[in-house]
Structure 1
């Protein structure tokens, strides 16, 4: 499938020409060739793929949490199960012996000085098991912005009060070591090996468990109920209640698209092309079509060529960060790519409403680079990739079904 993304004998040369045409200097071209490199691993796509994908092994544990939450409440259940909920957000806490023992070795917090995570509205915390194209994924939805920030700090920043950008209203937590699942594994292992379940035997078994990350590492989404990308209803021209509903859909499907590319192509980057694909899916899921002006507003490019400081685009500058000149060229590329994508979607909107086509459209976009999507040939390129995918589907190598 990787061959479908080139459509030309020398993709690097083509991308260089596009960047040059958009005004990039030689140095900026080199920066952007690296930054915009397609890293989606299409070799991981098996011959037979059915959508939605089969849910991952951590889902049964979260289904159990959801059942318990109906009685005790989500916050109380997660305080019992996730060790990060048993510590407050305090500077330096990740360096304490108690925190490291709990999060690195699974030592119980009983007897430790741990006041626990504090939420402003814990009763409003929701646990949703959302059915996405990539399978079921747990979603934690907070009742206010402050609680969302607290969850991000607890679950992704080791309970440290590190800043969370105002434009960030969701994140996907991947590779989360769930010590509750490890405890459940040990209980089952002990029950199956009653004569050989000593501490030393468990340590040997634990060593065999460590490489099997699917047995203890989870993926889930943290979601806020605030306006998407910190863009107000007035800015987008909608009523507040309507925009809040749409924001939630866009945000959820955006994160599910990151999950989709992570599962299918082993890639989920803090990169603007990932964001373009994810916002495309979110906007279409919310309103049935794609609007480039919304996407550009989300990024801070609503007054292009002026950039609004604090817009989301500056969250995706790469590592090392793009130079100021390369960042300017990136803005031009993003605008052209978004407008080309809107043009394509509007032309083929009836076909793209087909639930069987939707995952193929996402796959098609992952076969491109930002330069290809920004070029005037983008429409042709997307068509060619989609046609190839549909041909594969018709020969029963890729199977899709409505969700």
Structure 2
């Protein structure tokens, strides 16, 4: 059976088949992998810097430390602030914020509840910032991934991977070392020339890290999961961390981490395995709003992954069936795969599973019987 025939068998019209085939385009390709890929990968350059931040935070506190390092935290979350000249000068050109009237600082309600550590993944270690208070999580996401704009953060969103943040603390450290190594040739003009040379080398100044909240995963309550609140929140944190670690792996290994139903299925699979020791299809279906399939619960996460341009209502209905079948097949694959089922473990042992899943597409996983 070909892809078109499979979609037609689910009731998709010709127009919906075209929509879904376009939605199903693979972004993960196994031929992107180096034949001698050795896991875990070496840490990216920013990790060493964040290792220092973690140590400083033990003495100064997490928020105080990061406020000294990340210029975005020098500004409040405020409508239109990303268009202000001073904000742009500070975040895009690295100008000092002292004297800037807009630099009133980010306000958190419970900064003492922040945690910062490095988490091991198959793609190398990655910094993790945990906010114990939901409003603080929202403020941090808005400041660090939404240019300090008060964009709405959905209640079901409890994690964010910040990719490619310009870290001016690293650039200043680079300049200090460069000046020491180039005495007599470190004037302002010399620095501007050197700065132009490092702009294309993003690994020297751009960081990737994860922000996590401690709330219930996907907005699903402990009562719905049949667990105590304490147990479910503990598992939720492990799922989120494993989920974002999977996104980091696909980003670093395949160069892609999309807001897409298949990316989310893979990432949720890895998060659930990290928390529960094995994949739980019923958990995933509840997370995305398909716990009573064929009925879809409005507000479920699946509606956040409609693509661009967004799927039509008819195509979205077919997508629900595709995702349901894919999750059932995922369950069979995970049981047949060698998975180190240790609760809370980093998913290094599951990297082969992740790579295998990335070789498929959502529709391939749905129509093929493992």
- Residue 159 of structure 2 corresponds to 170
- Residue 73 of structure 2 corresponds to 85
State which of 242, 248, 252 in structure 2 corresponds to 1:259: 248
Structure 2, gaps ≥5 residues long: 342-346
State which of 367, 370, 388 in structure 1 corresponds to 2:359: 367
Distance 1:106 1:356 in 2: 37
Distance 2:356 2:197 in 1: 39
Distance 1:207 1:192 in 2: 18
CA contact (8 A) 2:40 2:348 kept: no
State which of 378, 381, 385 in structure 1 corresponds to 2:369: 378
- Residue 386 of structure 1 corresponds to none
- Residue 100 of structure 2 corresponds to 112
Deviation, structure 1 residue 357 = 5.6
Deviation per CA, 1:305-334, whole angstroms, max 9, x where unpaired? 221111111111111111000000000000
- Residue 353 of structure 1 corresponds to 340
TM superposition score normalised by structure 2: 0.96
- Residue 333 of structure 2 corresponds to 344
CA contact (8 A) 2:238 2:275 kept: yes
Deviation, structure 1 residue 43 = 3.3
Deviation per CA, 1:259-288, whole angstroms, max 9, x where unpaired? 000111111001010000000001111111
SS of structure 1 residue aligned to 2:21: helix
Deviation, structure 1 residue 356 = 7.2
State which of 35, 45, 50 in structure 2 corresponds to 1:57: 45
Structure 1, gaps ≥5 residues long: 1-12, 380-403
Deviation, structure 1 residue 86 = 0.2
Distance 1:269 1:65 in 2: 29
1:116-127 mapped onto 2 (5 Å cutoff): 116-127=105-116
- Residue 141 of structure 1 corresponds to 130
Distance 1:190 1:370 in 2: 52
Is 1:309 equivalent to 2:298 in the alignment? yes
CA contact (8 A) 1:130 1:137 kept: yes
Q: Quick one: structure 1 residues 189 and 356, their matched pair in 2 at CA, closer, same or farther if it must change by over 3 Å?
A: closer
Distance 2:291 2:323 in 1: 12
- Residue 284 of structure 2 corresponds to 295
State which of 37, 52, 56 in structure 1 corresponds to 2:25: 37
Deviation above 4 Å: which 4+ runs of structure 1? Answer: 354-357
State which of 98, 120, 123 in structure 1 corresponds to 2:86: 98
Relative contact order, CA 8 A, sep 6+: which one is greater?
Answer: 1
Deviation per CA, 1:231-272, whole angstroms, max 9, x where unpaired? 000011111111111100000000000000011111100101
Which sits farther off after the overlay, 200-209 or 49-58?
49-58
State which of 310, 313, 327 in structure 2 corresponds to 1:324: 313
Distance 1:154 1:263 in 2: 24
TM superposition score normalised by structure 1: 0.88
Deviation, structure 1 residue 101 = 0.5
SS of structure 2 residue aligned to 1:128: strand
CA contact (8 A) 1:41 1:267 kept: no
CA contact (8 A) 2:289 2:298 kept: yes
- Residue 58 of structure 2 corresponds to 70
Deviation, structure 1 residue 16 = 1.5
SS of structure 1 residue aligned to 2:128: strand
CA contact (8 A) 2:130 2:213 kept: yes
CA contact (8 A) 1:127 1:140 kept: yes
- Residue 344 of structure 2 corresponds to none
- Residue 237 of structure 2 corresponds to 248
SS of structure 1 residue aligned to 2:207: strand
